[in-house]
A and B are shown apart, each in its own frame.
Chain A
């Protein structure tokens, strides 16, 4: 009888939005709401499971840009201030409703949650939530994957190996800095893969990664075990296939998140209430943002007039966790009747923002999944590393060019809305590679300027800008940030030509983009 395993993997990513003042300050809310709705609930879930003695295993990719933000004392302080303003808003909300009403009870719960978040962040985690993730990694409950420095869509740079090496090497260096290890697994941003990437990853000692389903199913030869066992490439780099049904199970038209008992994430007082009520929270920008004060449930009739009920939602969470485990177990059992393999697995990989933000009850569902799985014998939750032990006996295939976005190839990252970025970033990248070659031994101010140039290239290569432009999510901001990085690079490039630079400007840029303080521009050097 084959062992049947489920692998759960979540990606925690945030583009490098760091604005302490000015018109973009409100963009920090994206990170702050992720901390409150996803990262803290995840850590609290781990703590609950640990204290109840429930074993759990989960794979996490925490992107280097997110690590840089979470470890930034200025951002940490801003998050506390944001929570303070949310607590003031919550107190006003509690006053707004008469005691005994359902809204009053919900407002009180949300206010309590805000206060709990502040207490957890400041007192329990000492403002350092990365260390807590590291703690669970060292206990073996969390398998941390490394990823690229800045969520770069690698297939766009496949003809520039030095650039892919720079993204991988900086990503690994960041991982080592925050988690003190070089991991075996590597997460490809947007699951972007094309032939050749595995060679670079292998050269850095990485052993495996995850591809979107068609990357494996369209491979040559066809995978004899389908998506139920990993495969390996000619250089014995292992790839797991992502289960294509998992995203649909959650967010598809019939996905769990649409249950009418769950919270309606689109209705928030930040968007629905009078500006007067929100003025203390929104600050100078007065841009409406999500507050987390959401009173309505998703309703079957789309009228959105049913109030949210925590108890009802909790019941559904239990049922949906059971349904998910039943479904995956049934799929693995069917597979075990078709093929002979010692171990069969299904890899369920998703963006962490889906659980907690897109689907408010998602983290509770995950906790329920672990609790129920601990009592079942038909399925076991494992890490990729547990399943890659027989890596050198896996079937050899040539995976297919693939990605998790667009229609399976990352087309959303290269279309008429964002293709103008390509000529700039590719030209700047070519120049950076030349600079790393030409100034290979330089030190002092030149090296400082070159390090800034390398950092700005990595930032400009982030697919966040193309993706935001495509999705029309703050497109002007995305263009501005992309241009800022390309222009900063051009400024250093020309300064090196004229042999002079403004240290005032250089220092300001270093202060504005504090990520990767240890960067070495030679990561862009040609490998000899």
Chain B
């Protein structure tokens, strides 16, 4: 593999088995039970050594130069990303490396893919709640409604099997769910706010917010 493609973020998407295979390609001996964090560090160090030897400038070579004029259908990486569309809807997108997809779909007991949404309270490592959304093999994106009362969320892309444990293919960072003032809720539609907030337009904004974002009031 080209060292250029080996970055920390890329390595973190690989399974431990793939990391060991890659280390083997680079001639790195991995002692049994070595933590994946150390394998990644070893790989990055090896890549850095190779890059050091490549410090020369680029060659001007228009004959072998490849210009990309079409967006790739896939980056052939197992990866998941998420971002907020508004305070309660997250947009989730993912990709699965061809070899990973082949491996899981060729497993006889493969049931399907799910997105597991884990919800966290502030400062907690363990999820306070979670739910799953089934996704088809062809699907690569999904909008997901998040409960407004939770603080953080993480989404795992999981392959489920009938005869073995589910396999987490990729996961997002823990991301914050935006929070407004607690009084900005369905009950507050009936509330009386201070005259200055009323003059500022809060009641009208709340009505608009309720019409457009009913889910925020659940």
Residues in chain B within 8 A of chain A (CB atoms)? 2, 4-5, 7-9, 51, 54-62, 64-72, 75, 79, 81, 83-87, 91, 93, 95, 140-141, 173, 175-176, 178-184, 193-197, 199-202, 204-205, 208-209, 212-213
A223-B179 Cα distance, complex, nearest whole Å: 15
Min C-beta distance of A39 to chain B, whole Å: 31
Check if A218 sits within 8 Å of B184, measured CB to CB: yes
A414-B57 Cα distance, complex, nearest whole Å: 39
Within 8 A of B (CB), among A215-233: 217-228
Min C-beta distance of B41 to chain A, whole Å: 15
A334-B199, A411-B85 known; A497 vs B61 contact (CB < 8 Å): no
Check if B7 sits within 8 Å of A226, measured CB to CB: no
Query: A338's contact among B65, B72, B196, by CB below 8 Å, is which?
Result: B196
Min C-beta distance of B120 to chain A, whole Å: 15
Min C-beta distance of A89 to chain B, whole Å: 37
Query: B209's contact among A227, A408, A444, by CB below 8 Å, is which?
Result: A408
Q: Number of A residues contacting the other chain (C-beta, 8 Å)? A: 72
Check if B83 sits within 8 Å of A501, measured CB to CB: no
Residues of B within 8 A of A499 (CB): 54, 56, 58-59
A446-B87 Cα distance, complex, nearest whole Å: 41
Query: A409's contact among B57, B58, B85, B175, by CB below 8 Å, is which?
Result: B85
Check if A220 sits within 8 Å of B202, measured CB to CB: no
A-B complex: 3 closest residue pairs judged by Cβ atoms: A226-B200, A401-B178, A497-B4
Check if B93 sits within 8 Å of A422, measured CB to CB: yes
Check if B61 sits within 8 Å of A500, measured CB to CB: yes
Residues of A within 8 A of B86 (CB): 401, 406-411
Residues in chain A within 8 A of chain B (CB atoms)? 155-156, 158-159, 194-195, 213-214, 217-228, 241, 244-245, 331, 334-335, 338-339, 400-401, 406-411, 414-415, 419, 422-424, 426-427, 430-431, 434, 438, 442-446, 449, 483, 486-488, 490-491, 494-505
Query: A501's contact among B58, B95, B199, B208, by CB below 8 Å, is which?
Result: B58
A408-B206 Cα distance, complex, nearest whole Å: 12
Check if B66 sits within 8 Å of A494, measured CB to CB: yes
Query: A487's contact among B4, B70, B84, B208, by CB below 8 Å, is which?
Result: B70
Min C-beta distance of B69 to chain A, whole Å: 6
Q: Counting chain B CB atoms within 10 Å of each CB, which of A217, A224, A419, A503 scores highest?
A: A217
Residues of A within 8 A of B141 (CB): 419, 423
Q: Counting chain B CB atoms within 10 Å of each CB, which of A194, A226, A406, A446 scores highest?
A: A226
Check if A445 sits within 8 Å of B65, measured CB to CB: no
Check if B87 sits within 8 Å of A438, measured CB to CB: no
Check if A214 sits within 8 Å of B7, measured CB to CB: no
A4-B86 Cα distance, complex, nearest whole Å: 34
Residues of B within 8 A of A194 (CB): 84, 178
**What are 15 residue pairs bridging A and B, where the CB atoms are less than 8 Å apart in the complex?**
A195-B176, A213-B201, A214-B209, A218-B209, A338-B199, A401-B84, A401-B86, A401-B178, A406-B86, A409-B84, A445-B58, A487-B69, A498-B2, A499-B56, A501-B58
Residues of B within 8 A of A483 (CB): 70-71
Min C-beta distance of B184 to chain A, whole Å: 5
Check if A159 sits within 8 Å of B173, measured CB to CB: yes
Query: B85's contact among A222, A400, A414, A431, by CB below 8 Å, is which?
Result: A414
Query: A423's contact among B81, B87, B178, by CB below 8 Å, is which?
Result: B81
